[in-house]
Structure formats: structure tokens, C-alpha cells
């Protein structure tokens, strides 16, 4: 997009696109959505940075009592914001991998192999494995 086309955009859209480009330097592709004075950069499951053009906010860890934390960074520093969002992205990816490892473990203790049909409780066993 040409520089003259960017000049008419709302400051929130300009900030979101700057953040998206800064995230690319971390190997992260963000999808920008803009409208009504706000813009969002969708980064990962449960990770969206939003801006009004003056600052960025994004969700952090869930604390005790299911309360989510939020982080803040000024919109005039997309490089620092991208670094901080990239750190949160890496944290979520690690958690996601750990969750997937938990899901593929056998549900019953014993000598059965993780991938064997016998390791699944009868009600969760794939249909073709039922007698």
C-alpha cells in the first residue's frame, strides 16, 4: 500500500499495521482488522492486540479466580510492543504443546500402549473399535 493511502487511515489502523509489521520480524503473522476507531491484530488463539491509536492492549495469563490479566504498551513503540506480544505468543504456544501432550496420553494406567485401542475407555473408543 502506498504511503499516501495510509495517510487517510485512522490512527488505530496505522498503529495496528505497524505492530503487524514489527511482529513479522519475530516470525509471527498477525491479521489486522480495523473499524469504528479501533483496530485489532489477531495473533494466536486467545491472543489479540487491540489499539485505539494511542496504546496497545493484549490479554495475558489467567490468574486465580479466572481473572485475566492485560498488558499495555504505547502505540508509538511498536517494536517493544511486538517483542512483548511475541513473548506472550511463545508462552501460549508452549502451553498449547503441553496441553496436546496431555491429551494424547493413555487414559488408563497400566502396560497398554498410548496408541492402542485398549487404552481408551469404552465410551471414548472410536466407533470402529467397538464390538
Q: Which residues of the chain are under the pLDDT cut of 70?
A: 1-8, 100-131
The one-character DSSP state at 66 is G
- pLDDT attached to residue 130: 45
Host domain of residue 35: 3-102
> Is 41 part of any domain?
yes
Question: What element of type H or E holds 43?
Answer: strand 38-44
Put simply, whether the predicted model's pTM sits higher than 0.85 gets the answer no
111 in a structural domain: no
Residue 124 covered by a domain: no
Quote the number of domains for the chain: 1
Which three-class secondary structure state does DSSP give residue 74? strand
Q: What is the pLDDT of residue 102?
A: 67
Q: What is the pLDDT of residue 126?
A: 53
Q: Is residue 82 part of a domain?
A: yes
Q: Which helix (H) or strand (E) holds 106?
A: none
* Residue 128: inside a domain: no
Separation of alpha carbons 85 and 90, rounded Å:
9
Q: Residue 120: its pLDDT value, please? A: 46
87: left (phi over 0), alpha (psi -120 to 50) or beta: alpha
Amino acid at each position: 500500500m502506498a504511503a499516501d493511502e495510509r495517510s487517510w487511515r485512522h490512527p488505530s489502523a496505522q498503529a495496528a499495521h505497524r505492530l503487524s509489521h514489527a511482529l513479522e520480524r519475530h516470525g509471527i503473522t498477525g491479521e489486522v482488522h480495523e473499524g469504528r476507531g479501533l483496530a485489532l491484530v489477531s495473533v494466536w488463539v486467545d491472543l489479540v492486540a487491540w489499539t485505539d491509536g494511542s496504546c496497545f492492549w493484549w490479554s495475558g495469563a489467567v490468574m486465580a479466580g479466572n481473572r485475566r490479566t492485560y498488558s499495555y504498551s504505547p502505540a508509538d513503540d511498536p517494536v517493544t510492543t511486538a517483542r512483548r506480544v511475541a513473548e506472550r505468543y511463545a508462552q501460549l504456544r508452549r502451553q498449547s504443546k503441553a496441553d496436546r501432550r496431555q491429551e494424547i496420553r493413555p487414559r488408563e494406567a497400566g502396560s497398554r500402549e498410548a496408541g492402542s485401542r485398549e487404552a481408551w475407555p469404552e465410551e471414548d473408543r472410536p466407533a470402529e473399535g467397538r464390538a
